[in-house]
Structure 1
Amino acid sequence: MTEEQYILAIDGGTQSTKVAIFDLRGAEICSHTVKLRPIVLYGDNRAEHPDDDLWDSLKDACHKVFEKFKGDRTKIIGVGLGSIRCCRALMNEDGNLVSPVQSWMDMRLSRPYEHEDDAVRWVTTTTGYLTHRLTGATKDTRSNYVGPWPIDPVALEWYDDKETFDSYTTPREMLFDLVDPATIVGEITAAASEATGIPQGVPVASTANDKAVEGLGAGLVNDGTALVSLGTYITSMMVGEENRFDTNAYFANPGATPGEFLYESNGIRRGMATVTWIKDLLGKDIVEAAEGAGMSPEAYLNKLAAEEVSPGCDGLYTVLHWLSHPTRLHERGMMIGFNGTHKGEHMFRSVLEGIAMTMKNNTQAMCDERGIKLEKIIVSGGGSNGELFMQIFADVYGVPAYRNEVNGSASVGAAICAALALGIYPDREQAVEHMVRKRDVFTPIPENVALYKGINETVYCNLASQMEPLLKRSHEIFQGR
């Protein structure tokens, strides 16, 4: 191992594609993030990434990161490829998309693929699609098949039993071969090199579903630590070695290294998109005020909410059902408790507190079912840049809240998978020890802990259930129109 060698990590999300270059000690040398175009929502609850946005954004992010990179590009020894889970890509014989990638928010993802279009040759995940784009290989990580795929959840192989396999209506010849995470799946082709700027011949390593990759990159170990992942889908996670199918408060995903499982609590759909929504709702006045202060609108709102709004927002609460669950279509987001003193900064802070209290309840339910005491949390994702949000998490959870130097830990996890695949580190423990770098910690403030505990346990946790009968009736009215 030499200090001059680098790993390029790809972190594809719902709202953006990030490409980062790391040294072999986990230090981020440079990175670039390209925002994705908005998801196209239409018809019967369909949601798609427009055109070929995942590949186009990856090409753009690669070129932009190489403009920043001052090192020797030939010293890049591997690529770790991570991307969004629970999506579906339909490809033709040449590897191009037949139709836009179906987002995890698309109702078609709730059922197996049914072959109806002769132009479709391959059915795969986002990691499978991008693997083929980069290497030409028809291989994909077995750890990104979450949902209605014909995969044995124990063996993580396509079902051997023909009757069981056929019940999923997806022809076997249309599926990629499965490999373990942290496995070399191929090398950058000449065409991919020209498109991205990554040197031809560089090995590409598989990862896992994006949440498992994020857990690995955050340095999660089975010691009472939970990771709160702030993305378009917000969830909390823990790791272990047992594949569980009998749980209520959490479910088990394949992990980012062989034999590892990621335990994931219930979450918030369109979670951090709600923060973007409230910023946009407050309009150009906030944008102009932020520009005048030399700050981003998000930073400006954080400053206002920290300096001018007390914990609890004077009784203004936000229930984060901005995107209903497919089986609970009556759900709606709510803000309740307004009075004449509330302003935009109260609404902004209320969204942050609503996210934190919702996830506290979800995380605690997971810990209770596992019989584990929560000792600390790690918060990852762009939202963890806000010191106000980090302090709210510490106060609501009542335990220390940590963040890492690279708060978008999925990129670190992708780099770790590549390092393991290349044999740079012999195992997960040593890779995490050398490549995950802690940044700082937020300590709970006792009086805030007591306030949030009272709010959460006596008011907040009851709001959704109290409103549910009325929301069901409202849904029936509008369905009948």
Structure 2
Amino acid sequence: MGRYYIGFDCGTQSTKTAIYSEDTTCVAEEMIPTNINYPKAGWAEMDADHYLESVRKGIKACLTKSGIDPKDVRAICGDGIICGIVGVNEDGKAITPYIPYLDSRTAQDAKWINENLEPIWIEESGNASVAPFYPPLLARWLIKNHEEFKQSGVKIMNNGPYVLSRLANLKAKDAFIDWATLSGWLIGYKAEEKVWSKEQMNLLEIPMELLPKIVKPWDIVGTLSEEEASLTGLPAGIPIVAGAGDTMQSNLGCGLVETGMAADVAGTAAMFTIMVDGINLELSKNSDLLFSIGTLPDTYFYWGYIRTGGLSLRWFRDNICGREGDNSFYDEIQELAQKVSVGSNGTLFFPYLQGGGGDLENASGCFLNMTTKTDQGEMWRAILESIAYEYLSLVNSLRENGISVDKIIITEGGSKSNLWNQIKADVLEANVFTLKRKEGAVMSNIALAAYAVGDIKDLKDAISKWIEARDTFTPNIQNTKNYQNIFAIQQKLLKENMKDAFLSLAKLNQ
């Protein structure tokens, strides 16, 4: 008889479910692709119940693969996307699409808020301005525009807590959000107190009764229901643990437990994070970095993102190269890109496939400076470099505010590319590390599950012991100099020349 734990990660491109033993060995895993619908330009919608069904299938598949006794499963814990919401009815069931961070339908609302409302969220939430993908703006849209939610909407939830709630058959009155996922809302809460802000929500015209209760990531929120037990192959009564947001769990899974540690979560939305000891008002006011709460007590971090970072790579594979679903493409294209020189022979890419934000609200994805010699390898490298340039803007903001960035841990799918890792080391002028264990958020969910039921006594210590470096990439001084020159040109184009072009191009999408 052993002890086992189930973790799942409801991400943008897939839902991953895994079973781990008490010695942290992954005994089985299953990955099921997601579906993203784009009903209008700038809109993105998903199905919250598809996540639920994927977790059900994932659990059942993992039980079959592992051959373990289902009675030996001690707890279930999962994470979801921090920036995205779904509306539920009184029974706790989804009645709206799940709207993820890829959506830009609230662009005009975001602009109006930034221009007309006092940004009282700076000191409480640590974020100075708002952007279209912020969950409170998506909530405002549902409240004003979604007819069924107007009639029978009771709570607004993130996708991870939604799946966990359904596994436990919780009604809307018991809807929850952990404090880490809470901070994925970016405004509307008090970060240090970890509570909703009535003043902010009143200003945003979001009724407090629509908001779920706030819990700790390791709180047991319920137990597996009889119905879900029959659908998954597990016995009823297994503890369901609250979990945390995907970004926070990825940070934890790559060992970010101390102030000053930095990570690149190279997933669908490429994210750069650095642990800090609290809100830095100057950084919040004068940079594009966002402030959030970590999974562990009294941990905080600033992060920046490229909404279509990893998605740009998938888009290029599927839509441009016609290799949809073919993962062998990545190895082939990497080999071609490896032969291309620093700077992609002058080809630039702007990764704004789902629009931009702030001063670049009209931005769109595009390649520049191509010739008849430009091939797929050159274009691929240009995409990789474009995302590294986005990171450099964020890192420069940190360095300008006295925060050192010289060591970066890279995790998630993007860490598999040695070429991309070296590009980041060169562009960011920092040592880059990959890890022996790549489970990321799912492994953190397993740790939370074990901690919740008392099988782990010290969560921080346990995570630290699991993390070991694999490969190190050091910056090439000449490459760094070349990239700095290219970056200066790229930024001038982006902030001066391209503004009018993006504005004109946006009119073609109307």
Q: TM-score, normalised by structure 1?
A: 0.88
1:215 to 247, 251, 257: 251
1:259 to 298, 303, 307: 298
Whether contact under 8 Å (2:427, 2:484) holds in the other structure is yes
The Cα shift of 1:83 comes to: 0.6
Tell me whether 246-255 or 322-331 shows the greater mean CA deviation. Answer: 322-331
The Cα shift of 1:192 comes to: 1.8
1:239 to 275, 281, 287: 275
Q: What percentage of aligned pairs have identical amino acids?
A: 23
The residue identity in structure 2 corresponding to 1:204 is I
Cα offsets for 1:9-68 (capped at 9, x unmatched): 11111111111222334333332111001x222247432104722212222222222232
Pairs within 5 Å for 1:288-307 = 296-306=328-338
The Cα shift of 1:432 comes to: 1.6
Whether contact under 8 Å (1:112, 1:149) holds in the other structure is no
Is 2:389 the partner of 1:353? no
Is 2:20 the partner of 1:22? yes
Q: Which residue of 2 aligns with 1:80?
A: 77
1:339 to 366, 371, 381: 371
Tell me whether 73-82 or 44-53 shows the greater mean CA deviation. Answer: 44-53
The residue identity in structure 2 corresponding to 1:322 is L
Q: In structure 1, how many angstroms separate the alpha carbons of the residues matched to 2:455 and 2:399?
A: 34
Unaligned runs of 5+ in 2: 107-134
Q: In structure 1, how many angstroms separate the alpha carbons of the residues matched to 2:224 and 2:251?
A: 26
Pairs within 5 Å for 1:65-464 = 65-106=62-103, 107=105, 109=135, 110=137, 112-113=139-140, 114=143, 117-137=150-170, 138=174, 139-145=176-182, 146-147=184-185, 150-159=188-197, 165-222=201-258, 224-246=260-282, 247=284, 248-249=286-287, 250-265=289-304, 267-284=305-322, 296-306=328-338, 308-325=339-356, 327=358, 328-369=360-401, 371-456=402-487, 458-464=488-494
SS in 2 for 1:273: helix
1:42 to 39, 44, 53: 39
Whether contact under 8 Å (1:217, 1:410) holds in the other structure is yes
The Cα shift of 1:473 comes to: 4.1
Unaligned runs of 5+ in 1: none
SS in 1 for 2:38: strand
Cα offsets for 1:242-286 (capped at 9, x unmatched): 134542322210111222112212x212111111122234435x7
Whether contact under 8 Å (2:161, 2:242) holds in the other structure is no
Name the count of aligned residue pairs.
465
Cα offsets for 1:396-444 (capped at 9, x unmatched): 2232221223434111222222233233333343022233343332333
Whether contact under 8 Å (1:420, 1:431) holds in the other structure is no
SS in 2 for 1:379: strand
Q: In structure 2, how many angstroms separate the alpha carbons of the residues matched to 1:318 and 1:340?
A: 17
SS in 1 for 2:421: helix
Q: TM-score, normalised by structure 2?
A: 0.83
SS in 1 for 2:331: helix
How large is the RMSD of aligned CA atoms in angstroms?
Answer: 2.7
Q: In structure 1, how many angstroms separate the alpha carbons of the residues matched to 2:79 and 2:503?
A: 42
Q: In structure 2, how many angstroms separate the alpha carbons of the residues matched to 1:297 and 1:158?
A: 45
Q: In structure 2, how many angstroms separate the alpha carbons of the residues matched to 1:182 and 1:87?
A: 22
SS in 1 for 2:99: coil
Whether contact under 8 Å (2:186, 2:291) holds in the other structure is no
Q: Which residue of 1 aligns with 2:8?
A: 10
Whether contact under 8 Å (2:80, 2:246) holds in the other structure is yes
Q: In structure 2, do the counterparts of structure 1 residues 29 and 446 end up closer, same or farther at CA, with 3 Å as the change threshold?
A: farther
Q: Which residue of 1 aligns with 2:111?
A: none
Tell me whether 459-468 or 142-151 shows the greater mean CA deviation. Answer: 142-151
Q: Which residue of 2 aligns with 1:33?
A: 31
Is 2:504 the partner of 1:474? yes
